[in-house]
Chains A and B, each alone.
Chain A
């Protein structure tokens, strides 16, 4: 059943989240399955690819911490908290795949910082938290968009584009939750 046919918005959202998780896992598996081929193609371009992956990994680890801040703020309730934790789970999957790929390419993956700095004093309501998360997700879409053309290995570019798609969905859903136009333009930059 399409989630457009679901009788209740909550049920539709659950179905959507379940499916988006499945799609992401499929992409992750595809990336991991391709790692042997990636390693076999090792050359000078790997160093730049490792740098790109590590920058992305650093941003993913920070996003995980940002969602943790939101989850612990007690400002998110019910379905919105579920949403935040689901998106945090996606970022954990991204980070895991990125770290393993960096290792496979012979690099050293960056690790999570002992502490991250966020403007917690500006987060006073659920709306504030959602707006904060939406800005991070919008930035993530732009960051991946700016990284995809730089990869020497096109398989990695494809995998990064898969993550980009997931971040774009996060951004759209957060905008929807905020009552904003979910997809404000035909193109991202």
Chain B
């Protein structure tokens, strides 16, 4: 019995390591370019900031004007929930303001998630994030 449990755990560990190794954060940064009409890493735009995403409850960035659907979603962003959302945002959260058809390729999604996790540990998302300015109207 113990041997069986160990085998299962071993397989799960191998699968996790394999998935982590397979994710390509460099390519993920290229995928992230698709987000840049609406999102930035360290500040809110048409969409909320991406820094600090993992472990954050959906609809919880202070001061950002979310859709009612996003605020009511009760989702916490993890690899799994983000992968599901990125596949078909409007299917997972009907009424979301992220009116985007989704990223159909699982590898693209995995790489994007790997990039977002990596960049979250860099100065781009830390205290050295760029200071902001707005044009005079």
Contact = CB atoms under 8 A, between A and B. Distances in A.
Interface of A: 48, 51-52, 54-56, 58-59, 62, 65-66, 68-69, 72, 114-122, 135-136, 138-143, 145-150, 189
Interface in B17-55: 33-38, 40, 43-46
Contact of A142 (B33, B90, B134): B33
B136 A72 contact: yes
Contacts of A72: 135-136
A117 to B, nearest CB: 4
Closest 3 CB pairs of A and B: A120-B133, A139-B36, A139-B37
Contacts, number: 101
A65 B130 CA distance: 18
Q: Is the interface of A mostly helix, strand, loop or mixed?
A: helix
Interface stretch (B6-14, B71-79, B93-101, B113-121): B93-101
A184 to B, nearest CB: 11
Q: Is the interface of B mostly helix, strand, loop or mixed?
A: loop
A117 B43 contact: yes
B97 A51 contact: yes
Contacts of A65: 134-135, 137
A115 B45 CA distance: 11
Nearest to B95: A51
B35 A139 contact: yes
A139 B38 contact: yes
A118 B132 CA distance: 5
B131 interface: yes
7 contacts: A51-B95, A51-B97, A58-B46, A69-B135, A117-B45, A117-B132, A122-B130
